[in-house]
């Protein structure tokens, strides 16, 4: 270990550092440790100063004797493992080299001070002692990369009372549901509802399996207006078939089922028996806006002006969800679902005005909407498939409808696609046979423009109309692409054109926009994961949509370690979360420049967020290296 020959008085340095516990607490893992544990670190650590260019650690030094915490300046590791993972920079608050200290081995890279730097060196024996006293410190050491990425949940949460929609329904407190048999008279069931002060009664069989439900909202239409006698068995007026979920499903699953089916109560079963009932109030008690209510309003909207207002409510809901700490995956799924509902309403409403039968066509979603990953700032990527024996004759009327829909979506805040990936473009308004021919041409020829189109159109999902027209088309890329290795190699080449914004020292490589240092979170972040996931899924013939689902499905077939696959997903979702945060920002702090809603000003991130972002970018770099090794050679 090479140090500066001239060191300041160490006692004075120690005194200066002893009072900096609060400063250390801004960084992981100290932010999760008790003040006494932070003090234990400071008291046991030795200050080390390094002049600019000095070698801090190198393989020739032998087994590492101390864990280093950067306090001032920055340190870059290069060579060794850095040749495959790229150089990496450690700045104030970073600990290194964790793996070498825990393994009692020499480092594999050479660490050099970029400028005059101050570190705290915690002897290896003290590392073990502190790890025994602090579970947070021990967990950080054992799972450093995954801990950084897991911190993204807390870094993006701005409220301590947030719902974690990825929690299982089994985590909800169990309520004693009001149940009755199918033969129960209405009078008895309604009296029980009134006495208990509940809004629903479940109808179950002798084995406690759910058969149906009667809610307070059903009574007017099913009992009062039809003037049903109160002696009527409840089985004659209950809602059936009944939507249910099991305790293994998540709160996110429940939210989507409620929105899609327009219901407010959802029985939860375990082993076929009802064990709980979850209400919309349970899921969104902290929200100003109701997901189900908004879905209902969109479906009932009489005109484009009303839908334009409700599109603004979708963006307000996204802002509210993020403010409550709902994660990026759940938020983008909910945004995509509500955008689906709005688009479906527009298509059906405008088709009815033109007297056209959507049973003869299907509206298609491509790109991020096809994957269910729409953020707030999103343009249109859509198309149309229609049934026809004479396409040249029938196409103009479908193009006219598509033009109406595209213009209405634009009025609702979903800009027209600059690349013309819209159903009003004749190239995107085709019969099933024409679409198949187009997809086959892209796979067989793979010209540069074909690869760009494939990266958009192959993320295909039927949205409205006759879904059967699109089913074979949706399955085609996964079935055909794996048979053409040249096409996969070309897709890989497209993916490898992306650049991770970390420089040779491992520091952020920003671009200056209006005097601010910015990063493009899409172009240099999420797009890497999206394209790599698509490539992996097509190569294995996996008919799955969504970047997370593709990464999770493809990893086992690639013999990827579970933690590496988890890191892919965590990094992608953290980047998505940052994109959403910028797009819904109301106070303008760190707002993206005009024309690019995916750019973030690095200075607006706190220390933990910067650490997580840097870790996510390192994961992206390793992902590109895997693409290069598997397909680029």
Kindly state the percentage of the chain with pLDDT values over 90. Answer: 45
In angstroms, the CA 439 to CA 483 distance is 14
| Chain-centre distance for alpha carbon 121 | 37
Does the pLDDT at position 591 exceed 70? no
- 72, 189: one domain: no
pLDDT of res. 161: 32
Indicate whether 206 pLDDT > 60: yes
Residue 328 has pLDDT above 50, yes or no: yes
Cα distance between residue 51 and residue 114, in whole Å: 8
d(CA 399, CA 383) in angstroms, rounded, equals 10
Backbone φ and ψ of 49, nearest 5°? -110, 145
pLDDT average, residue stretch 86-101:
82
Q: Find, among 114, 68, 116, the residue nearest to 507 by Cα.
A: 114
Looking up tokens 């079963």 gives: 269
Q: What is the pLDDT of residue 5?
A: 37
Bridge pairing between strands 429-430 and 461-465: unpaired
- On whether residue 150 sits in a domain, the answer given is no
- The larger pLDDT score, comparing residue 151 to residue 129, is at 129
**Residue 12: predicted pLDDT:** 55
For tokens 């089922």, what's the residue? 257
Instruction: Decide if 214 contacts 234 (C-beta within 8 A).
Output: yes
Whether 125 has a pLDDT exceeding 90, the answer reads yes
In a shared domain, residues 86 and 203: no
Q: How far apart are the first and last CA of the chain?
A: 39
**3-state percent helix, strand, coil for the chain, nearest multiple of 5:** 50, 15, 30
Cross-strand partners of 601: 518
In this structure, what token pair is assigned to residue 37? 């544990």
269 lies in some domain:
yes
Distance of CA 533 to the CA centre of its chain: 14
The CATH number of the domain holding residue 227 is 3.10.580.10
Q: What is the CATH number of the domain that holds 521?
A: 1.20.120
Q: Tell me, what CATH number does 390's domain have?
A: 3.30.460.10
- Which residues 6+ apart lie within 8 Å of 436 measured at CB? 472, 473, 476
CA neighbor of 139 nearest in space, from 91, 108, 130 = 130
Bridge partners, 78 (sequence order):
110
Mean pLDDT value across residues 354-372: 93
Distance CA 44, CA 123 (A): 8
Q: What is the DSSP letter of 223?
A: I
Q: Are 333 and 243 in the same domain? A: no
| Segment 250-254 mean pLDDT | 82
The highest-confidence range among 89-103, 132-146, 205-219, by mean pLDDT, is 205-219
The last residue of a domain, from among 476, 508, 542? 476
Q: Is 407 exposed, middle or buried (0-12, 13-18, 19+ CB in 10 A)?
A: middle
Higher pLDDT, 527 or 596: 527
Confidence of residue 594 (pLDDT cuts 50, 70, 90): low
What's the token pair of residue 557?
A: 């077939």
Which tokens in the block code for residue 541? 């013939």
pLDDT of res. 148 = 44
Could you give the 3-state DSSP secondary structure of residue 283?
Answer: helix
pLDDT > 60? residue 152: no
Q: How many residues does the chain have?
A: 633
Do residues 96 and 217 share a domain? no
Classify residue 318: in a domain, yes or no. Answer: yes
Residue partners of 15: CB distance under 8 A and separation at least 6: none
Q: Is the pLDDT of residue 155 over 50?
A: no
Q: Is residue 486 part of a domain?
A: no
Helix (H, G, I), strand (E, B) or coil at 356: coil
Residue pair 298/290 in contact (Cβ under 8 Å)? The answer is: no
Task: For residues 33 and 39, give the distance between their C-alpha atoms in angstroms, rounded to a whole number.
Answer: 10
Asked whether residue 120 falls in the same domain as residue 183, the answer is: no
Q: Which of 241, 260, 283 is the last residue of a domain?
A: 283
Cβ(375)–Cβ(579) below 8 Å? yes
pLDDT, average across residues 195-212: 90
In contact, 73 and 115? CB cutoff 8 Å: yes
Q: Which residue range is the domain that position 242 belongs to?
A: 169-283
* Least confident span in 61-65, 226-230, 327-331: 327-331
Q: Determine the Cα–Cα distance for residues 261 and 251; give it in Å rounded to an integer.
A: 16
pLDDT, tens only, 384-443: 999 999 999 999 999 999 999 999 999 998 999 888 999 999 999 999 999 999 999 999
Gyration radius from the chain CA atoms: 29
Give domain status of residue 162, yes or no.
no
3 assigned to some structural domain:
no
pLDDT digits 0-9 by tens, 365-388: 999 889 988 887 778 899 999 999
User: What 3 state SS string does 556-592 have?
Assistant: HHCCCCHHHHHHHHHHHHHHHHHHHHHHHCCCCCCCC
Whole-number average pLDDT of the chain? 84
For the chain, the domain total comes to 4
CATH code for the domain of 103: 2.60.120.10
Are both 300 and 278 inside the same structural domain? no
Structure tokens at 554: 């493809």
Whether residues 598 and 505 share a domain: the answer is yes
User: Could you tell me if residue 363 is inside a domain?
Assistant: yes
Cα–Cα distance, 538 to 533 (Å, whole number): 9
Q: Are 125 and 181 within one domain?
A: no
Same-domain pairing of 114 and 31: yes
pLDDT 10s digits, 290-327? 577 788 889 989 999 899 989 888 887 777 777 666 67
* Higher pLDDT, residue 541 or 335: 541
> 458-502 pLDDT, tens per residue?
999 999 999 999 988 999 998 999 889 999 999 999 899 999 998
Q: Are residues 256 and 299 in the same domain?
A: no
Residues 272 and 341 in one domain: no
Please compute the mean of the pLDDT values over residues 49-61 and round it to a whole number: 93
Minimum mean pLDDT range among 124-138, 161-175, 240-254, 552-566: 161-175
Q: What is the C-alpha to C-alpha distance for residues 629 and 633, in angstroms, rounded to an integer?
A: 7
Query: Contacts by 216-220 with C-beta closer than 8 Å and gap 24+?
Result: 217/264, 219/190
Give the pLDDT score at 450: 83
What was the pLDDT predicted at 395? 96
527 and 611 in one domain?
A: yes
Residue 489 within a domain: no
- Measuring CA to CA, how many Å separate 1 from each of 69, 83, 93? 15, 21, 20
- The Cα–Cα gap between 518 and 185 comes to 67
**DSSP structure string for 401-427:** HHHHHHHHHHHTT-PPPTT--STTSGG
Give the domain-ending residue among 476, 508, 534. 476
């Amino acid at each position: 270990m090479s140090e500066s020959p001239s060191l300041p008085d160490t006692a004075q340095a120690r005194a200066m550092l002893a009072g900096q516990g609060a400063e250390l607490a801004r960084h992981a893992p100290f932010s999760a440790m008790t003040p006494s544990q932070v003090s234990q670190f400071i008291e046991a650590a030795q200050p080390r100063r390094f002049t600019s260019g000095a070698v801090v650690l190198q393989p020739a030094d032998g087994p590492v004797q101390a864990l280093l915490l950067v306090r001032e300046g920055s340190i870059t590791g290069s060579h060794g493992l850095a040749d495959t993972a790229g150089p990496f920079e450690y700045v104030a608050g970073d600990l290194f080299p964790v793996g070498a200290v825990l393994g009692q081995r020499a480092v594999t890279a050479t660490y050099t001070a970029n400028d005059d730097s101050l570190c705290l060196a915690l002897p290896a024996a003290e590392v073990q002692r502190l790890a025994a006293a602090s579970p947070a410190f021990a967990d950080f050491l054992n799972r450093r990369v995954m801990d950084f990425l897991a911190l993204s949940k807390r870094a993006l949460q701005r409220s301590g009372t947030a719902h974690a929609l990825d929690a299982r329904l089994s985590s909800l407190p169990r309520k004693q549901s009001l149940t009755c048999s199918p033969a129960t008279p209405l009078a008895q069931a309604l009296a029980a509802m009134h006495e208990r002060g509940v809004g629903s009664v479940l109808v179950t069989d002798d084995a406690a399996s759910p058969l149906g439900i009667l809610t307070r909202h059903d009574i007017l239409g099913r009992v009062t207006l039809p003037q049903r006698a109160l002696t009527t068995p409840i089985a004659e007026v209950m809602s059936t078939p009944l939507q249910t979920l099991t305790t293994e499903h998540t709160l996110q699953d429940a939210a989507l089922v409620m929105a899609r089916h327009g219901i407010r109560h959802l029985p939860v079963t375990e082993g076929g028996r009802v064990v709980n009932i979850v209400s919309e109030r349970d899921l969104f008690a902290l929200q100003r806006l109701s997901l189900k209510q908004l879905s209902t309003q969109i479906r009932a909207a009489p005109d484009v002006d009303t839908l334009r207002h409700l599109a603004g409510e979708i963006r307000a809901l996204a802002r509210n969800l993020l403010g409550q700490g709902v994660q990026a995956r759940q938020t983008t799924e909910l945004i995509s679902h509500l955008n689906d509902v709005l688009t479906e309403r527009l298509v059906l409403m405008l088709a009815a005005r033109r007297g056209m039968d959507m049973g003869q066509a299907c509206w298609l979603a491509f790109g991020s909407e096809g994957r269910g990953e729409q953020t707030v700032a999103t343009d249109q990527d859509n198309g149309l498939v229609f049934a026809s024996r004479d396409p040249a004759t029938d196409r103009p009327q479908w193009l006219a409808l598509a033009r109406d829909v595209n213009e209405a979506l634009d009025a609702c805040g979903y800009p027209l696609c600059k690349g013309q990936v819209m159903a009003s473009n004749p190239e995107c308004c085709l019969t099933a046979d024409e679409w198949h021919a187009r997809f086959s041409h892209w796979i067989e020829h793979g010209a540069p423009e074909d690869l760009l189109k494939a990266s958009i159109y192959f993320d295909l999902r039927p949205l409205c109309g006759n879904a059967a027209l699109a089913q074979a088309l949706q399955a085609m890329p996964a079935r055909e692409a794996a048979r053409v290795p040249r096409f996969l190699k070309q897709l890989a080449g497209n993916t490898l054109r992306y650049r991770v914004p970390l420089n040779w020292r491992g520091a952020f490589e920003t671009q200056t926009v209006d005097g601010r240092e910015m990063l493009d979170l899409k172009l240099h972040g999420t797009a890497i994961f999206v394209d790599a996931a698509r490539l992996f899924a097509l190569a294995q013939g996996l008919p799955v949509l969504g970047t997370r689902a593709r990464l999770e499905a493809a990893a086992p077939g690639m013999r990827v370690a579970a933690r590496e696959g988890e890191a892919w997903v965590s990094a992608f979702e953290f980047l998505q979360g940052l994109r959403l945060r910028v797009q819904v920002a109301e106070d303008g702090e760190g707002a993206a420049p005009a024309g690019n809603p995916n750019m973030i000003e690095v200075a607006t991130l706190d220390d933990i967020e910067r650490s997580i972002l840097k870790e996510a970018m390192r994961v992206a770099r390793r992902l590109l290296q895997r693409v290069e090794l598997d397909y680029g050679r």
